[in-house]
Amino acid sequence: MNPQPTPTVFDVQRIRADFPLLARTVHGKPLVYFDNANTSQKPASVIEAMNAHYREHNANVSRAVHQLGEEATAAYEGARDKLAKFINAASRSELILTSGTTQSINLVAYSYALPRLQAGDAILTTTMEHHANIVPWQLVAARSGATVKAAPISERGELLVEQFIAMLTPEVKLACVTHVSNVLGTVNPVREIARECRKRGIALLVDGSQAVPHRPVDVQALGCDFYAFTGHKMLAPTGTGALWARREHLEAMPPFFGGGEMIREVRFSGTTFAAPPHKFEAGTPNIAGFVGLGAAIDYYQSVGFAAIHAWEQQLLAYATERLREIPGLRIIGEAPEKEPVISFLIDGAQASDLATLLDLQGVAVRSGHHCAHPLMQFYNVPATLRASFAFYNTREEIDTFIVALLKVRKLLM
């Protein structure tokens, strides 16, 4: 458990006023939304930015010289500029706009990994990965004759880093690791892993879906080769996300999708492709969604990650302390460095039953395997209940959650 940080002044009620959905009721009770690792709520500024795009600027991007087309293109490409600065990319051209982490990882699987893999090669990942950082590697491994290996974790939910490094053997052509576990909240030592991968000439992909909403990310400082993340977990609309990649990889990789906008010239005798990032962005994108993502970044910057991180760590520490008061409750994953995610079980109660009854009390949490079957198998459980917090949550909501949890536990005992 993280030591409880010194309380800081954080006007969470002012923040909450920016999120319209937080004011609603569910089953006649005030909503307590603790499913932020699944998807975050959206501030009014994001919603309004998307509405304004459709009301005032709606046109396709990069295909028209008229005023609306120029406005739409400026807003869409402006989101790329904001994202590049947000993660400290060396150049905006290193940032491919995608539908989210899943598409980003598949792009690397088919455009970077598959052309390089041969029979006998291996891809190294970890036991705590989301399916999106497992299944694409299995698919390309099956096509190439390669294998997928998984590094072990401890009972506390920490990656056994020395064993991961020991598994970086010559046949490993790509390593893939989550920055923050979506189930455990564990923060992995990406810089150390990246340093060891570089020593061996092994490219490293990082799944940043659960990191980007909670902490500043500097891809240059991390030292990885690919960094994938999703917009809808960071206050932005669904269907948005990005892949950051080193320029030399993007220049060497063939296109993943073919179609309009990713070409220089098309002839039946052959096609020449645009330079990165547009080489990987075929078709009409989710323009309004990325306008919203740009507004989400503006919102994060207006609050500041130092304040966000400090408040979320207070929530994590307080919720962990309160959950320990409940008899028969077992927290799954207690690494010393975590983001605000707690998975747990209660003796004698099914996770799905608990979640259903909590919903009737107005509390939204996630139950299930969380797209992490191998991790559930490691802990020998079919599912967990997961409470995940954001900076717009409050200690009072945690108290409400605990009262509701004690009530539904009593019903199920």
| CA-based nearest residue to 211, from 126, 92, 337, 85 | 337
Q: What is the DSSP code string of 264-331?
A: EEEETTEEEEPPTTGGG--S---HHHHHHHHHHHHHHHHH-HHHHHHHHHHHHHHHHHHHTTSTTEEE
Give the strand pairing for 122-126 and 172-178. parallel
For residue 194, CA distances in Å to 147, 161, 377 come to: 21, 11, 27
Please name the residue ranges forming H helices in 167-304. 190-199, 219-222, 247-252, 287-303
Q: State the chain's maximal CA–CA distance in angstroms.
A: 72
Residue 199 near residue 217, CB atoms below 8 Å: no
Output helix, strand, coil percentages for the chain, rounded to the nearest 5. Answer: 40, 20, 40
Catalytic residue among 176, 197, 224, 371: 371
How far apart are the C-alpha atoms of 316 and 312, rounded to whole Å?
6
Q: 142 CB contacts (<8 Å, ≥6 apart)? A: none
197 catalytic residue (yes or no) = no
The one-letter amino acid code at 243 reads L
Q: 268 CB contacts (<8 Å, ≥6 apart)? A: none
Catalytic residues: 371
